[in-house]
A and B are shown apart, each in its own frame.
Chain A
């Protein structure tokens, strides 16, 4: 049925990439999933895909185990998101929750980088590095090992339940669950010290919360990579929907070179190639496709750009003795030119790619600058609102401020608090009694926030307005200004 429908549609396609005209169906819009049994393939793109898969999995599983010495009192895990203590560690970078904008910046770099890559080379992310692709590929590999090749799997699924079928199916699901468990298990290591957590989880001493998350990510991995598969890309993921905005006619995408392949048809050995295309309609490209589409229909939403059909087609072209790359990475523009018999060079520099590249450089630069200029002291001033100000017995006015000093260094440091501002030049500053306060200076413990009350007293005559601007300044031990925060000094209404 489907094949016949495909045939009819092919006739409508004159040039590659011309969008398919789909008539609004009269019946229900829901279509049941057609089960996909991708055939195994080997070749250039498959090898790249295996390599990327290995690297991605290695990064995911190994990263939490990398150690990084930060000195005493700090975790020695290179990458750790310590939720309990509200710290994020990335090798030599350590961020506090207030600095979540670093994460925002990272996401921005990721997004713009994805835009750039997509506009240049199409959906490389989807085809090679997306976790959905990586784990689905891994699950398919396991499936192929246990249940055999495409035709064997199809036969097995059609066969009635038997002991042999049950054994194979059980083995497959057990293997999938094991992989899922390892995936879910590795996830929690990013949030807890890996070696101790590993021991705790394995010996049943870990918290219910951790087991919940292991279970959650085990379940999502199992369901998404085992069952949902290409449906995640087609129905759930937003990226395929708006990637159309990134692509243009100069973007490299997996392309069936229709000008070369059509008219297609079966070819018997010894037959002439005159008057016909190179496509022998062997359907190998469809058999290997992880999303089960026919690349000869042109660019499609479902195509994740993995290039496995290129490998499959090259294999066949080699066997029938025709040039390789009937399906290839090519641009729409080059295809249009080639159809007319011209050569079209690939244009790397286009307004779109220049804009994306500029954005990427700008965001990365801003992030790098922010990181390099990152202060290791934070100062927050909270002015007392109740009482707004205090009248002392000699008539002078005193304001109170709660000053929070964040010491991001791994050593205890001493700071002095000063008041700066022309309007409050004569102000007398004192610090409230608190842990770490001695005289005019306050000591803040390593990697923590110290709180100190700062009192500023001003003669009544000097309080010339209800609100006077004032800066609270933080000096380090050497007298260097390390932070400054603007606030106000409040007094009674009216002139003295």
Chain B
């Protein structure tokens, strides 16, 4: 602090007494409006500290005298949203799948709600839009392992595939190579025959030998002409769609180790109305029957 108050000649303002290379700093007071705004914010923070959660303790915190809690706020808003949806959800729950299809309002609601539920629950495996991935069926095409009618899809979602729920869709392909049911040569021949079903065989003689093995081992599930069986989730081997790859190497690998993909049961995880909405949504992805 300078002992003598020095006034600037031009502005008449007093200086701080600091000088740098002949330039002196004016001791200009804060603008009043700024200062009062600043005091107001201090006052605001003090009030806020008392009213709202503020001081953290070791295992808890001071919750504020208003008792406000963001977590409760979110929960309340979720409840409000659910309450607004409730009339629709009740109607969806009460209606049959065909009734939902026939009612424009419910159909739109189910398709939008189904999309949200799908993206939250199904998209990790089946991808957004049901695009699918290797081992996870594409839900937008016209090939269905367990059936593509609305009620088939509903049942698959409800109980799942090859899981611990006894109502789930069950079937198992033997591990022909790993369990030594067929030898390497036979597996190669069956693969050749399977390729021939979609017109891609390179060796007709091997394919003919494979046909015999196929007749003994595979027809029970995949059918005499390899057309598949939806009761057992046995894929159609004659078409262009291959869940685990349609090249020779992938087919050999499938026969050797089997695949037996699984899907969880969603009953119990999702409510009945959501499962219905999911069914309607998946059915409308493009391949519904």
Contacts and interface: CB of A to CB of B under 8 A. Distances in A.
Interface of A: 26-28, 384-388, 390-395, 398, 400, 432-436, 453, 455
Interface string B122-138: 00000111111000001
A416 B232 CA distance: 40
Interface string B114-151: 00000000000001111110000010111100000000
A453 B129 CA distance: 12
Contacts of B236: 393
B284 A391 contact: no
B255 interface: no
Pairs A-B, 5 closest by C-beta atoms = A435-B104, A387-B131, A393-B239, A395-B240, A386-B129
Contact of B130 (A387, A395, A455): A387
A384 B284 contact: no
Interface in B232-289: 236, 239-241, 283-284, 286-288
Interface stretch (B67-75, B105-113, B157-165, B189-197): B105-113
Contacts of A26: 10
B240 A433 contact: no
Contacts of B59: none
Given A393-B142, A434-B107, A398 B240 contact: no
Given A386-B129, A453-B286, A455-B286, A391 B105 contact: no
Contacts of A455: 286
B239 A433 contact: no
Contact of B128 (A28, A386, A392): A386
B241 A391 contact: yes
B11 A436 contact: no
A390 B140 contact: yes
B101 interface: yes
Nearest to A392: B142
Nearest to A432: B284
A402 to B, nearest CB: 10
Contacts of B240: 391-395
Contact of B127 (A386, A394, A435): A386
Contact of B286 (A395, A398, A435, A436): A398
A178 B101 CA distance: 57
15 contacts: A384-B129, A386-B127, A387-B127, A387-B132, A387-B140, A390-B138, A390-B287, A393-B236, A398-B286, A400-B286, A433-B284, A433-B288, A434-B108, A435-B108, A453-B286
Contacts of B129: 384-387, 400
A12 to B, nearest CB: 26
Contacts of B286: 390, 398, 400, 432, 453, 455
B108 A393 contact: no
A454 to B, nearest CB: 10
Nearest to A391: B240
Nearest to A430: B286
B276 to A, nearest CB: 15
A434 B241 CA distance: 27
A319 B111 CA distance: 84
Contacts of B105: 435
A384 B284 CA distance: 14
Residue in B127, B128, B142 with the greatest tally of chain A CB atoms within 10 Å: B142
A384 B240 CA distance: 21
Contacts of B141: 390-393, 398
A425 to B, nearest CB: 22
Contact of B10 (A27, A388, A394): A27
B142 A433 contact: no
Nearest to A393: B239
B142 A434 contact: no
A214 to B, nearest CB: 25
B241 A393 contact: yes
A412 to B, nearest CB: 12
A481 to B, nearest CB: 26
Most buried by B among A27, A391, A400, A436: A391
Contacts of B107: 433-435
Interface in B78-96: none
Nearest to A397: B240
Q: Which of A28, A388, A393, A398 has the most CB of B within 10 A?
A: A393
Contacts of B104: 435-436
B90 to A, nearest CB: 19
A26 B10 CA distance: 7
Contact of B101 (A27, A390, A392, A433): A433
B140 A393 contact: no
Interface centre among B127, B128, B131 (most CB of A within 10 A): B131
Nearest to B140: A390
A386 B131 contact: yes
A435 B111 CA distance: 10
B10 A400 contact: no
Contacts of B130: 387
A122 to B, nearest CB: 36
Contacts of A436: 104
Contacts of A390: 138, 140-141, 286-287
Contacts of A386: 127-129, 131
A393 B10 contact: no
Nearest to B288: A433
A393 B143 contact: yes
Given A394-B240, A434-B108, A434-B111, 17 more contacts: A26-B10, A384-B129, A386-B129, A387-B130, A388-B131, A391-B141, A391-B240, A392-B141, A392-B240, A393-B142, A393-B143, A393-B236, A400-B140, A432-B284, A432-B286, A433-B283, A453-B286
Nearest to A400: B286
Nearest to A386: B129
A400 B131 CA distance: 11
A398 B285 CA distance: 12
